[in-house]
Chains A and B, each alone.
Chain A
Amino acid sequence: MSDRTVFVVDDDDAVRRALRFLLHTAGHTVEVFLSASAFLESYEPDRRGCLVLDIRMPHMTGLDLQNELNARGWRIPAIFITGHGTVPIAIAAMKAGAFDFIEKPLRDEALLESVERALGWDQTTREQHLELTALKTRAAILTPREREVLELVATGGPNKIIARRLGISFRTVELHRSHILEKMGARTISELIRIAILLQQDGS
């Protein structure tokens, strides 16, 4: 739990401290920042957590921050707090890739639930990201023929069909598949199929 931090950015003293209080009582680790630029300066992208920020701040607005995060390729989920008359800006922020927005006055369930989801999403995406990176590294050592076989495995076709497609013998397909299983670190065929789909979705 303690490796996940909720980062709060708000220029208003009272709101900032209140959010810290609330999140703290809900058991979160909280770090607070006076402004978007202060957050950008001290944040390291490998830190897990989520961002809670007021959309309306002097100098650098919430939307500016979201764009900056996108530009830097930092994928921390951001939850925007919007007040009266700022919903259109919040929608723009969502289009820019924000995770969620919550309207003021705050309902704590909504905020805490959203924070939970954001932290979960951060967790998942980070894990998926790590797995994909590992799979990609492994897929790099496959031979071209093995890659072809893997692609066809992903479509769910039986070995007989794959052999006919590639014009090779059934035995050869089986041999390739055992090599692929070994190289990709998969134990079962169904696991291999999931890996194949993941890699395909990533566009490789």
Chain B
Amino acid sequence: MVEGTMHRLIAPMLRGSLSRAGPLGRRPFWSNLATAAGYIVAYLALDRVSFLWALHGVDVTPWNPPPGLTMTLLLVKGLGYAPAIVLAPLLSSQLLPLVHVPPLVGMASALVIASGYAVAAAILRYALQVDIRLWRARDLALLILVATGAAGFVSFGFVAIYALAGLIQWRDTVEAAVQLWIGDAIGAVVLTPALLVARDRLRHVRLPRGIRFWLGALETTAQLLSIAISLFVIFGFDHDSYPFQLFYLVFLPVVWIAARRGLGGACWAVLLVQLGLIAALEFQYKSPEIIRTFQLLMFAVATTGLMLGAVVSERQRVSRALSDSQGRLRAILDTARDGVLTIHKSGKIESVNPAIELLFGLPARVLVERPVSDLLPAGHAFERLIWTARAPLMRGAREELDVRRTDGSVVPIELTVGQFGDPGDEHYTLVIRDISQRRQAEANARAHQLELAHVSRVSLAGEMASALAHELNQPLTAIAAYGRGCLRLLRQPAPEPLLMKEGVGQIVEQAERAGDIISRLREFVTAGTTQRSVVSVETLVEGAVALAQIEATQNGVEIRVHVAPNLPRVLADRIQIEQVLLNLLRNGMEAVLTNGASERLLSVDARETSSQAIEVSVADTGPGVAKELEDRLFEPFVTTKPLGMGLGLSISRSIIEAHDGQLRLISKAGAGAVFAFDLPAYEHVRSPETGRHE
């Protein structure tokens, strides 16, 4: 939900900041017009100033800056200014008549100039993807190359037109063209980079407060003056015809003020005009018909001015709100610790935040425009990301990946993908979180749990030491007895071979029995890294019961095992699960023995529950778990045993939870305890083994 909002907020900002100053983009028309006018004036001035002499009838200068100005305008503002760049040389050829040029020839040459530089600008911006801030050496080199080429094209075209028109001799064309080429090229190369760099600097400069105040005061004065002048022009002279003919002049100051100051300024302007009108009428026109006509015209001025003012005010508010929200977003993205990047549907990175730069160790200017697949692990298709963003069910879904940084190190990340933009012009947001710390913490916790489980197993084995020693003594006793018996037989003159065979056979068998006990115990207490394998539930139950059986037999406790047939296997750490089972069995055994119950029985049951999980339960015939202990049973250091550490159940629970299962007490007090845990079935294919019944 939060991410969806983020995407909606980011979208307009991105389009604003990432759009490439499209043709006459988003700026108001009058602003574009002013820029175009300024350009033309500057062009004419530069053209005039730099003129030295006419060579073969062509304006020739060693340094011709106007092409530099043209290139700059096209690169910064885009091709929308094409009319202005045609108009400027045309006016130059007509207004600065150093060499007389017929209008048709002027027009043709102006078109050649404009088209040459327009094509050059288009190539630089769109085909070569030149960054007009000139941050890279590549950008500047391309600019020089293309501008020089364009100057050559323009010079030869220009001279050819003059020659066709008969303004210069054909034999002079090459020399004239070369001269012109050099002048234009040097003009473009010297002026364009200077203007582009200056623009990049100026964009971030604000005028000092004092100067801004005085500029504002100057503008206000000019606006008041313009109202006064327009009224004076309308009423100040004694006109032959009706004065209404000049009334439209009053629209100019009103529109100016409304456009600059919005509704507030428009109200005052309209009020001032009305007052001025009334005052003027007092002195000059008394006829009611004339007054009515003036007031109707006034109505039109007021309506137009106020409406324009209202629209301008609204625009200002919207633009301020937009810039506020952009600033807020920028601040959020800059301070966010998660990396946020946006990509176009083509897979190119559009924007990145500082966290991304930090994560990948690359600056934004290198990342932007690169395909996002460069950042993702090999084989992780961008299409898959998009699919994740599009599928409604997957929205907001996280994915964990390992990405490679430039220094070769691998960082685990969590990735969330979102989508914004209109159909056909989709953009995507990627939120990337560095999860190496979380991974480290998880690994630490795992190692810790492993150690704890091991310690617990060793202490469990220690508690069983007496029973185990007895169990080991049995085969050793048998071996000694058989051995002595055999020796005794050998001392007889004719030892009975059958008896000898029985004795030696039993020695071997009992030695193997002792070995089994020792190896089972050793396996149980090994530290062991966690090793999960696919095992049958039967194996797990058998392993634990075999160890518990030793004490059970010595204490006259019966263990009944029932494993349902055809159980699916589970993915588990065999030793750890055996540890859990052994813990439960020993607890049960102690409960049964303290009770002095007539029936000393432990039942182990394994069956499949409906939800693709295997449930293993251990039930005893003891007194059950006391009500007040029930809630704290799985907490560490809670025990009812005089010598117990109270870790068995707590470790057992963490082991089962690490296996995505649950360990719980499912019996009522007083009815014997039943502990059960479940393990997710690893495979849905049945294991071929059949169940065990004892």
Instruction: Give A residues with C-beta under 8 Å from B.
Output: 11-12, 14-15, 17-19, 21-22, 24-26, 56, 58-59, 81, 83-85, 104-108
Contact = CB atoms under 8 A, between A and B. Distances in A.
B680 to A, nearest CB: 39
A106 B499 CA distance: 20
B506 A17 contact: yes
Nearest to B552: A58
A174 to B, nearest CB: 59
B477 A21 contact: no
Given A14-B474, A14-B475, A14-B506, A21 B481 contact: yes
B466 A59 contact: no
B303 to A, nearest CB: 111
Contacts of B479: 18
Contacts of B555: 58
Interface of B: 466, 469-470, 473-482, 484-486, 488-489, 499, 502-503, 506, 509-510, 513, 553-556
B474 A12 contact: yes
Nearest to A12: B474
B480 A108 contact: yes
B473 A104 contact: yes
A81 B470 CA distance: 12
Contact of A18 (B470, B478, B488): B478
Contacts of A12: 474, 478
25 contacts: A12-B478, A14-B474, A18-B480, A18-B481, A18-B506, A21-B485, A21-B502, A22-B485, A24-B499, A25-B499, A56-B470, A58-B554, A58-B555, A58-B556, A83-B469, A83-B470, A83-B473, A84-B469, A85-B470, A104-B476, A105-B473, A105-B477, A106-B484, A108-B480, A108-B484
Contacts of B506: 14, 17-18, 21
Contacts of A19: 481
A21 B482 contact: yes
Residue among B470, B481, B489, B506 having the largest count of chain A Cβ atoms under 10 Å: B481
A18 B466 contact: no
A84 B481 contact: no
Nearest to B482: A18
A26 B489 CA distance: 8
A106 B478 CA distance: 9
Given A25-B485, A58-B554, A108-B481, A84 B510 contact: no
Residue among B476, B485, B503, B510 having the largest count of chain A Cβ atoms under 10 Å: B485
B478 A84 contact: no
A105 B554 contact: no
A84 B499 CA distance: 30
Contacts of A59: 556
Contacts of B466: 84-85
Contacts of B499: 21, 24-25
B602 to A, nearest CB: 14
B634 to A, nearest CB: 32
B656 to A, nearest CB: 32
Contacts of A17: 478, 506
A107 B480 CA distance: 7
Contacts of A21: 481-482, 485, 499, 502-503, 506
A2 B149 CA distance: 130
Contacts of B473: 83-84, 104-105
Closest 4 CB pairs of A and B: A108-B484, A58-B556, A18-B481, A18-B478
Given A56-B554, A84-B469, A84-B473, 9 more contacts: A14-B474, A14-B475, A22-B488, A83-B473, A84-B466, A84-B470, A85-B470, A105-B476, A106-B481
A98 to B, nearest CB: 19
Given A56-B554, A58-B555, A22 B470 contact: no
B83 to A, nearest CB: 108
Contacts of A81: 477
A58 B553 contact: yes
Nearest to B507: A18
Nearest to A109: B484
B489 A25 contact: yes
A26 B555 CA distance: 33
A86 to B, nearest CB: 8
B554 A85 contact: no
A57 to B, nearest CB: 9
A28 B114 CA distance: 129
A139 B378 CA distance: 113
A19 B510 CA distance: 13
A81 B485 CA distance: 18
Nearest to B484: A108
Residue among B474, B479, B509 having the largest count of chain A Cβ atoms under 10 Å: B474
A25 B553 CA distance: 30
A18 B466 CA distance: 23
Contact of B480 (A56, A83, A85, A106): A106
A104 B514 CA distance: 15
A25 B473 CA distance: 22
Nearest to A59: B556
A151 B476 CA distance: 57
Contacts of A18: 477-482, 485, 506, 510
Contacts of A11: 553
B474 A22 contact: no
B484 A14 contact: no
A14 B556 contact: no
Contacts of A26: 485, 488
Given A25-B499, A104-B476, A105-B473, A14 B489 contact: no
Contacts of A108: 480-481, 484-485, 488
A21 B502 CA distance: 9
Given A56-B470, A83-B469, A83-B470, A25 B480 contact: no
Nearest to A61: B556
B554 A24 contact: no
Contacts of A58: 553-556
A64 B433 CA distance: 71
Contacts of B482: 18, 21-22
Nearest to B472: A84
Contact of B510 (A14, A25, A85, A106): A14
A85 B469 contact: yes
A73 to B, nearest CB: 28
Contacts of A22: 481-482, 484-485, 488
A15 B510 CA distance: 10
Contacts of A106: 477, 480-481, 484
A135 B403 CA distance: 106
